[in-house]
Amino acid sequence: MSMMQDYINEAEAALLHTYNRYQVVFDHGEDVYLYDIEGKKYLDFVSGIAVFALGYGVKEYNDAVKAQVDKLLHTSNYYYNVPAIEAAKAIKKASGMDRVFFTNSGAEAIEGAIKTARKYGFLKDGRTDHEIIAMEHSFHGRTMGALSVTGTKKYRDPFEPMIGNIRFAQLNDIESVKAQLTDKTIAILMETVQGEGGIRPATEEFLKEVRAICDERDILLILDEIQCGMGRSGKFFAWQRYGVKPDVMTVAKALGCGVPVGAFLMTEKVGQASLVAGDHGTTYGGNPLGGAAICEVFREFEEKKIPENAAKVGAYLWDKLEEVKKDHADIKDHRGVGLMQGLEFDHPVADIINKALEKGLVLINAGTDIIRFLPPLVISEAHVDDMLSILKECL
């Protein structure tokens, strides 16, 4: 038996079986490639689920994180630390938002956004029965609050009762949103581009109509940019493509490019009328290590023009995947934006993904019938060509 198989067997005996993992043990990465423990090389088109935007083995990033490890990892939020302050400045500049709360994950950022909306409503009229409208087919995380606004029933059912007062509408169907509005609605929450739900971008028209409803009724527009944000759409944040600014925004994944960090941000108006001292907290959120990683990520995004590269190579990937779609009758649809794209098939895609892995290409699904393309944002058109030659063999 191989060393790799030994490790896989050990993992299956020790880890809780909440994932059906692909049969590979990765060891290290370089540029846009991963290597397993036997030394086999793989072209990475998943980037740790949209996390490793800068690719692997980036010396400046690694040095920034290592330097902070030697300095100070943790202080708690009872004290200030410089990396978190600098990180807040950087994310405010990129997003145009005003107030930041750092978390350790995307799900925690969503929890904070939900609490922000509820507190905003409570301060407005003293009621505790406010409702949030979320979207069908959405995915916001696995904690109880984030799960409650995740619009996929099979994820929620075994864990009922969820937190209450959540209603679901359809993305890009404004009438379905209006049908869920009541005098209790305090927020409308959606991913600017749905990720797990099948790579479905919100349209400009829909976002603008939702924004208008929120303005008219003084309810909060909460945009989840955890997967689609941080340059992946070709802009820093996907909502910037249309200029529809949220009241509250969540971000994680590529915010730290490997160090587990997230954040929720809000406008000054919401900041002044929601969470105050004692309302929310985190032991690790905003720690100096995470702050140092975030600062370096923003520095490199600017220096290397990462969002611009995502837009340029994303357009090339779009054209190439359109050609693939034309050649294969079993591909029903092609959706996405920038370097966040998906091909929907009329059958399960597990076999294709497994074949690709054997041939040294890492792909991932969204649902059973969609292949997602989430490469590091530093890829070139040549990497797209390499990916396509393997994909075509597997099809």
Instruction: Name the domain boundary from 303, 338, 366.
Output: 303
Q: What is the arithmetic mean of pLDDT over 233-262?
A: 98
The whole-angstrom separation of Cα 284 and Cα 1 is 41
pLDDT recorded at residue 104: 98
Helix (H) or strand (E) run with residue 347 in it: none
CATH number for the domain harbouring residue 141: 3.40.640.10
In this structure, the answer to whether residues 221 and 235 fall within a common structural domain is yes
Mean pLDDT computed over 329-344: 98
> What are the pLDDT digits (tens) for 248-271?
999 999 999 999 999 999 999 999
Domain carrying residue 238: 60-303
Instruction: Read off the pLDDT band of 37 (50, 70, 90).
Output: very high
* pLDDT, averaged across the chain: 97
Quick one: 193 and 288 in the same domain?
A: yes
177 shares a domain with 128: yes
Region of residue 367 (phi > 0: left; psi between -120 and 50: alpha; otherwise: beta): left
Instruction: Quote the pTM value.
Output: 0.98
Question: Comparing C-alpha atoms, which of 381, 92, 338 is closest to residue 233?
Answer: 338
Q: Are 199 and 108 members of one domain?
A: yes
Query: Are 299 and 330 contained in the same domain?
Result: no
Cα–Cα distance between 40 and 43 in angstroms, integer?
10
Give per-residue pLDDT as tens, 220-231.
Answer: 999 999 999 999
Do 228 and 187 sit in the same domain of this protein? yes
Residues 292 and 151 in one domain: yes
Identify whether residues 46 and 86 lie together within a single domain: no
Out of 260, 288, 303, a domain closes at: 303
Are 156 and 134 found together in one domain? yes
Choosing from 303, 320, 346, the residue where a domain stops is 303
CA distances to 85, 99, 211, 264, 353 from 92, in Å:
11, 8, 21, 11, 38
290 in the same domain as 154: yes
Report DSSP state, residue 331: E
Q: Are residues 76 and 202 in the same domain?
A: yes
Buried b (16+ CB within 10 A) or exposed e, 371-382: bbbbbbbbbeee
Could you tell me the CATH number of the domain that includes residue 316? Answer: 3.90.1150.10
Q: Is the domain of 337 the same as that of 272?
A: no
- Would you place residue 1 in the very low, low, confident or very high pLDDT band (cuts 50, 70, 90)? confident
Give the chain's domain count.
2
Q: Give the phi and the psi of residue 31 in degrees, each rounded to 5.
A: 60, -115
